[in-house]
Chains A and B, each alone.
With several copies, the nearest count.
Chain A
Amino acid sequence: MSLSVKVQEADFDPAELQRSLLAGGQAEGAVVTFTGYVRASNEQRTIERMELEHYPGMTENSILAILQQAAERWGVLAASVVHRVGVLRTGDQIVWVGVAAAHREAAFSACEFTMDYLKTRAPFWKKEVGPQGDHWVEHRAQDTERAQRWGRSSE
């Protein structure tokens, strides 16, 4: 089982990440990936750029803990997260999550679980900068609700 977490300012290539995910073997039947992009607007506010801050050390460890939980729960064969920090612009890639498993059910569940927990537990903070000035993005109650679907075992 191969788990990988990277927090970086540089952009990433989803194709290369998917190839790395599969580098370990040929047992995989299914790969599910998620790529998040900076939208042009959020709740009617125009976004010129996004500034992403994180808590170095804690970020990597908390994401790895999430991946370990997902791997144990669904028998994942490989999983990888890349999350960017720093200044990002509209259309830029922010985050990539890839999960390889023998069957699609496991791959879909583990990928969505990981995204839900990235949104609720990993110490990242987004600030939007636009014509109306700076705006720290508020945490969405909906994200906490979605994360709670997966049960208390994930706390």
Chain B
Amino acid sequence: MIKVLFFARIREELDCRQLDLPWGNDLVDLDALSGRLCREHGEHWEKVLGQQNIIRAVNQKVVTGNTALADGDEVAFFPPVTGG
């Protein structure tokens, strides 16, 4: 299974906080995961997840570019951070 989390503006725009996806061949890497989410949920998700400044994290580490996934991984999508 892959646990997928959405935070802040992205969470609100998708109206979704968390998805649990059963592990499968269409989840081998981040780009494949994004592709599947867009196919399943349609144009609105494609637009939100395609935003240029979106940040992706795998197992709570920010990654840049595509990254391989394994069963049990945790993936998160969020906007640039604004703490402090």
Contact = CB atoms under 8 A, between A and B. Distances in A.
Nearest to A59: B83
Given A58-B57, A58-B76, A61-B60, A53 B8 contact: yes
B17 to A, nearest CB: 10
Interface of A is mostly: mixed
Contact of A58 (B53, B60, B80): B60
B65 interface: no
A57 B9 CA distance: 19
Interface residues of B, number: 16
Given A55-B78, A122-B83, A139-B53, 10 more contacts: A52-B83, A55-B5, A58-B60, A61-B60, A95-B84, A119-B81, A124-B81, A125-B79, A136-B79, A139-B81
Interface of B: 5, 7-9, 53, 57, 60, 62, 76, 78-84
B81 A53 contact: no
Classify chain A: how many residues form its interface, as a range: 20 to 34
Contact of A55 (B7, B9, B80, B82): B7
Interface of A: 36, 52-55, 57-58, 61-62, 83, 94-95, 104, 115, 118-127, 136-139
Contact of A124 (B60, B76, B83): B83
Q: Max chain B CB contacts within 10 Å: which of A55, A61, A62?
A: A55
B79 A57 contact: no
Given A57-B60, A58-B60, A124 B82 contact: yes
A92 to B, nearest CB: 14
Contact of B60 (A52, A55, A83): A55
Contacts of A120: 81
Contacts of A58: 57, 60, 76
